[in-house]
Structure 1
Amino acid sequence: MDDAFSGSPGDARRVPALFISAPASHHGKTTVTAALARCYAKRGLRVRVFKTGPDFIDPMLLAHAAGGVHPAYQLDLWLAGADACQKMVYDAAQDADAILIEGVMGLFDGQPSSADLAALLGVPVLAVIDATGMAQTFGAVAYGLAHYRAGLSFAGVLANSVASTRHAEMLEQGLRPGLNIRYFGAMLRSADTALPERHLGLVQAAEVPDLAARIEHAAAAIGQTGLASLPAPVSFYAPSNVDASAHLPLTLLGVRIGIARDAAFSFIYPANLDCLRVMGATLQFFSPLNDAELPDVDSLYFPGGYPELHLQTLQNNLSMKAALHHHHACNKPIFAECGGMLYLLGSLTDKSGNAAAMTGLLPGRAVMQSRLQGLGYQSAPMPGGVLRAHTFHHSMIDTPMVPQAIGERLHNTSAGEKIFQVGRITATYLHCYFPSNPTAAAALFLPGRK
């Protein structure tokens, strides 16, 4: 493998890389990406894994599959920008033996799409196609993906959820010689490799007791395909623009931020943590589920997650609630996103009708719904400036609070999410991406503002 170069932005680092995509969601992209990561990591290779888009759950699984040394960062062209995405992968390439990027939805879905990111980075696309109920038409789907966009590097296709050896043969027959599409083989349908799901996507990695065994089964299956060999090297370049995050002012120097992190609150961008640290903040993690008190901090950050799955535990942790009320009474900042906001309300009701008392720091209640209630990119006008953000939730809130601001959707199809302020609490359904405006992010946590 070539040594890494240093110096000008035009210098490159060559690393085997693959972009795993599909015709749509639910074709098995995460399983295949995790299987590849584990397959390569078991050989002692240093694998770095990324996830396209704003997803929180898939990256946890991918990081686990790759060995858990590094978090799996989100590559999002709208939230982060092309230069930041390019830099994250370039930085990872400096000490990686392989880079895997899982796409989002279908290859060409969305604006920007997975194809846009693959083209920007120059990483060949592997199309994973769930072949359930399909035979030779597999070739037509593969051909469409390979040729829909001129100039997109296409590595080949993998058949997933294949019923039998005979089924695999029929699928391969659809890839006629003249199509010139590489067939990497098939992964047979197996309950041993399936990843469990719930209403916000896959079940979190820490909640799947046999996750390691499932990934091992998938890695063994991928090892029997043409993907067992490392993909071809790709040249990764530093972005032409200087990385502004490396020169951020130490706005949060000396500020101690307590961050809720447990099974109920885990939806947080690793880049957000990096951004806070670069600005000088000291991060301390605590568990609203298990801890009796807060760490000694100046500000609090409640990310999203699954509080609705832990109603009784959150309700019964009275000492944590008291500590939060004391923090708020001292006029210390609290920033809460989505599930974090639900925890600050008076009560939360799950889809079965079970209700529990939450902290009561914010007036109102939240009720889980059977259908998705909010989805998409938005600009979030926060007290310190506009942050780019994303929303994805199944609950509705009933509150007398008047919003301080309202998010603006990237595609103006409906009203944006509300942003509430009560004292030093800022709460919203929006998951904000701090590197999009570090100054605005810092303002959420700076103590002393009235």
Structure 2
Amino acid sequence: MAQSICPAILIAAPASGQGKTTVTAALARLHARQGRRVRVFKCGPDFLDPFWHTMASGSPVYQLDLWMTGEQDCRNRLAAAAAQADLVIVEGVMGLFDGTPSAADLAKLLGIPVLAVVDASAMAGTFGALAFGLQHYLDDLPWAGVLANRVASAGHAEMLKTSLKNPSQWMGALMRDEGIKLPERHLGLTVASEVSDGLQRLDLAADALATTPLGQMTLQDLGRWSVNFGPCDNALPPADPACGDSLPNQQRLAGVTIAVARDAAFCFIYSANLDCLEHLGARLKFFSPLQDAALPDCDALWLPGGYPELHARTLADNGSLRNSLQQHVAAGKPVWAECGGMMALFDTLVTASGEEIAQWGVLPGRVTMHKRLAGLGPQQLALPGGTLRGHTFHYSTTESVLTPLLRTQRPHGVDPSYMGEAVWQQGSVMASYFHAWFASCPDAAADLFAPRTVACVPS
């Protein structure tokens, strides 16, 4: 089997908010505009940055996480991409060494050179010390160089460059420019498709990057960062053995049509999850709860996460869609709802300002938005088919008369002191704040959309 060798770079930073998403998207856009095949990946369970990278590169973006997706999944996806691409770009998560596992762990394990993006707006000589520390904190970390962001002037850039112990690692400076800043809201970046000048911002960022040493590198230059990702296997990556069986021997969802909500209110969908459902034999039908009057003809329903709180009034006013959903549930057809999808199922949503808005009334209770995070971190969920890995990230809490059927657990086994995220079940509906990575255990993913004839095992 042929080896997959391709120039690759992991763009990281000393902390969140330094501009690594902008630089990643700008580099992808710069090369894609020149007709090169660019594949971008995102470290960690992030849903939002990939929207921008998809717009920049023109290709689907997948997540890489040594725990949630598994090492073999990471290797397989990167190898498949490298076999077809001219350049592979991986965006890190948080700071370079933050999290367990971290972006640095991924870079070292797979041999991907690290480019550090540093917000240098309030520093001069310390820039060199910070760059040196990032490079040498972990032994044998592959290193590409450092790029300064939000720089005040050409003179400032020169001060930053001369602070480096090794000036050859200078990849340039991006000047402070509000025109290339990517807009944000409470869960992170605004979804790219909702920003009217999104592509224009990416083009401006790419133009700015084109003036830097990094942006002026040819594919031949980038070849010094080539990585051998090993043999390419275009099959769905196997699940981590710790999560249960790998791919099932049969397509458990063959003949099953799953309706998938996908619009501005329900947009947190891993591309890998769609792939997994199709590999399991399911047929997917997409619809918009904001615009459509009824569910498509389907056997099961998936309501992914998103921003129902921003569209609560529109969702409440779509009575025909609510009636169609309630008929689906009354017929005993499965529903799996994640985070935002679950929020819309309750009776009432209370906004951060205290406004109460009636929702779909499928689950008894209320959801209340808060101004601070209410849940964050990796999670796992035990089901009859095995254990699904995933994460949680939400600003709301729920109150219900229901007793949770299950609760998620943190990555390293059962902790009696940790409550975990509730998994609610009423009839054919299962719902939780838990965002699942289906490929971590396809058999368990199939459980979510199978008829509710078998009770779930306690976690």
Does residue 385 (structure 1) correspond to residue 379 (structure 2)? The answer is no
| Structure 1 letter corresponding to 2:444 | A
| Structure 1 letter corresponding to 2:115 | L
C-alpha distance in structure 2 between counterparts of 1:193 and 1:199, whole Å: 20
Picking from 6, 23, 31, the partner of 1:15 is: 6
State the TM-score, normalizing by the size of structure 1: 0.94
C-alpha distance in structure 1 between counterparts of 2:229 and 2:386, whole Å: 33
Does residue 342 (structure 1) correspond to residue 343 (structure 2)? The answer is yes
SS in structure 2 of the partner of residue 416 of structure 1: coil
C-alpha distance in structure 2 between counterparts of 1:248 and 1:354, whole Å: 50
How far 1:303 sits from its partner (Å)? 0.5
| Structure 2 letter corresponding to 1:32 | V
C-alpha distance in structure 1 between counterparts of 2:297 and 2:110, whole Å: 43
2:228 alignment counterpart: 235
- CA offsets per residue over residues 140-159 of structure 1, 9 Å max, x none? 00000011111111000000
C-alpha distance in structure 1 between counterparts of 2:236 and 2:406, whole Å: 32
- The answer to whether the 8 A contact 2:300-2:333 is kept is yes
1:3 alignment counterpart: none
Picking from 134, 137, 150, the partner of 1:145 is: 134
How far 1:266 sits from its partner (Å)? 0.7
1:37 alignment counterpart: 28
C-alpha distance in structure 1 between counterparts of 2:198 and 2:236, whole Å: 40
Picking from 412, 420, 426, the partner of 2:424 is: 420
C-alpha distance in structure 2 between counterparts of 1:97 and 1:53, whole Å: 23
- The answer to whether the 8 A contact 2:261-2:304 is kept is yes
1:96 alignment counterpart: 85
Picking from 120, 124, 148, the partner of 1:135 is: 124
How far 1:246 sits from its partner (Å)? 6.5
How far 1:167 sits from its partner (Å)? 1.1
The size of the alignment, in residue pairs, is: 437
- The answer to whether the 8 A contact 1:382-1:405 is kept is no
SS in structure 1 of the partner of residue 156 of structure 2: helix
How far 1:349 sits from its partner (Å)? 1.7
2:449 alignment counterpart: 445
Does residue 55 (structure 1) correspond to residue 36 (structure 2)? The answer is no
Task: Please tell me the root mean square deviation across aligned C-alpha atoms, in Å.
Answer: 1.7
**Change in CA separation of 1:423 and 1:204 when aligned onto 2, cut-off 3 Å:** same
How far 1:353 sits from its partner (Å)? 2.0
C-alpha distance in structure 1 between counterparts of 2:332 and 2:248, whole Å: 30
How far 1:181 sits from its partner (Å)? 5.6
- The answer to whether the 8 A contact 2:334-2:451 is kept is yes
- CA offsets per residue over residues 180-219 of structure 1, 9 Å max, x none? 6600110001011001111100000111111011000100
Picking from 85, 92, 98, the partner of 1:109 is: 98
C-alpha distance in structure 2 between counterparts of 1:377 and 1:147, whole Å: 28
2:178 alignment counterpart: 191
- The answer to whether the 8 A contact 1:83-1:239 is kept is no
Q: Comparing 42-51 with 226-235, which one deviates more in the overlay?
A: 226-235
- CA offsets per residue over residues 313-366 of structure 1, 9 Å max, x none? 101000000000000000000000000000100011221222211100000000
1:4 alignment counterpart: none
C-alpha distance in structure 1 between counterparts of 2:394 and 2:34, whole Å: 39
Q: Comparing 388-397 with 233-242, which one deviates more in the overlay?
A: 233-242
C-alpha distance in structure 1 between counterparts of 2:150 and 2:75, whole Å: 33
- The answer to whether the 8 A contact 2:131-2:146 is kept is yes
C-alpha distance in structure 1 between counterparts of 2:71 and 2:398, whole Å: 35
How far 1:443 sits from its partner (Å)? 1.3
SS in structure 1 of the partner of residue 46 of structure 2: coil
SS in structure 2 of the partner of residue 158 of structure 1: strand
**Change in CA separation of 1:243 and 1:433 when aligned onto 2, cut-off 3 Å:** closer
How far 1:243 sits from its partner (Å)? 4.5
- The answer to whether the 8 A contact 2:409-2:418 is kept is no
- The answer to whether the 8 A contact 1:378-1:390 is kept is yes
2:68 alignment counterpart: 79
2:192 alignment counterpart: 205
How far 1:383 sits from its partner (Å)? 5.0
Picking from 149, 152, 158, the partner of 1:169 is: 158
Identity %: 52
C-alpha distance in structure 2 between counterparts of 1:32 and 1:414, whole Å: 38
SS in structure 2 of the partner of residue 315 of structure 1: helix
List alignment gaps of at least 5 residues for structure 1.
1-6
List alignment gaps of at least 5 residues for structure 2.
239-245, 455-459
How far 1:45 sits from its partner (Å)? 0.3
- CA offsets per residue over residues 54-83 of structure 1, 9 Å max, x none? 00000111011112xx21000111111101
Picking from 204, 222, 225, the partner of 2:212 is: 225
Instruction: Note the 1:282-431 alignment, pairs <5 A.
Output: 282-410=283-411, 414-431=418-435
